[in-house]
Amino acid sequence: MTGAQGVGDAKGSALGRTMGRYIDASFTWEDLKWLRRSTSLPIVLKGIQTAEDALMATEHGVDGIVVSNHGGRSVDTYVYTIFTGGLRLTKVNRSTSSIAVLMEIRQCCPQVFEHLEVFVDGGIRRGTDIFKAICLGAKAVGMGRQFLYSLTYGQEGVERLIESMSWSFPIRVLLLTNAVMKDELETTMKLLGITDLSQAHPGLLNTLDVDHLIPKRLGESYSGPVVKARL
């Protein structure tokens, strides 16, 4: 942490500006090399949003990555309006979803899953979401919004959420899930004819509706090939 102090003025809220000050724009991959030399503890890099960065992580000695867009609200967004069939539709483009980045890594550099522990968070709402992530190669998922929702009822709400949780210990993943998500996950496994998450694989997913949105090779973006400057 940088020791930043919260500021509330016309430029923004205290919380938003304080959290923004914790981001060090000078941090580079070279700093990871220094960190690797400085500790024998596992290093897990959070915030991976492209296959290229996942591949770079394998080259810099980290032990794991967390595919995450930090809630999808922390990068620039833009609003655009289209007219179709006499209707006016307003859409908002946000950062790429974590599950899409997981698919991109699987498509462009699947060797990452052999060298690193890959975790994912963002958009995990149901047991089926957990299953999709595991099929695509994630070892575990992160959940946060459930706790934020439970805060509506204060401390008691959070305590009730924790009390309703149960531990599940599959071979390849350690999940802390509430009873509803656990039931959904187990039901999905039964419907697909598997008895353990170690049997999950990408072939169990039907991704035809979104495959065309995922970059097919390194260097491509979600809007088409990346044009690199020649200078």
User: Active-site positions?
Assistant: 70
For residue 81, what are its two tokens? 């309006």
Where does the chain show beta strands of DSSP type E?
A: 44-48, 64-67, 78-84, 87-93, 117-121, 140-142, 165-168, 175-178, 220-221, 224-225
Q: What is the C-alpha separation between 115 and 35, in angstroms, rounded? A: 19
Where does 124-174 show beta strands of DSSP type E?
A: 140-142, 165-168
48: helix, strand or coil = strand
Q: What is the C-alpha separation between 183 and 9, in angstroms, rounded? A: 47
- Scanning the structure block, which residue is given the tokens 């802390």? 176
What is the distance between the terminal CA atoms of the chain, rounded to a whole angstrom? 37
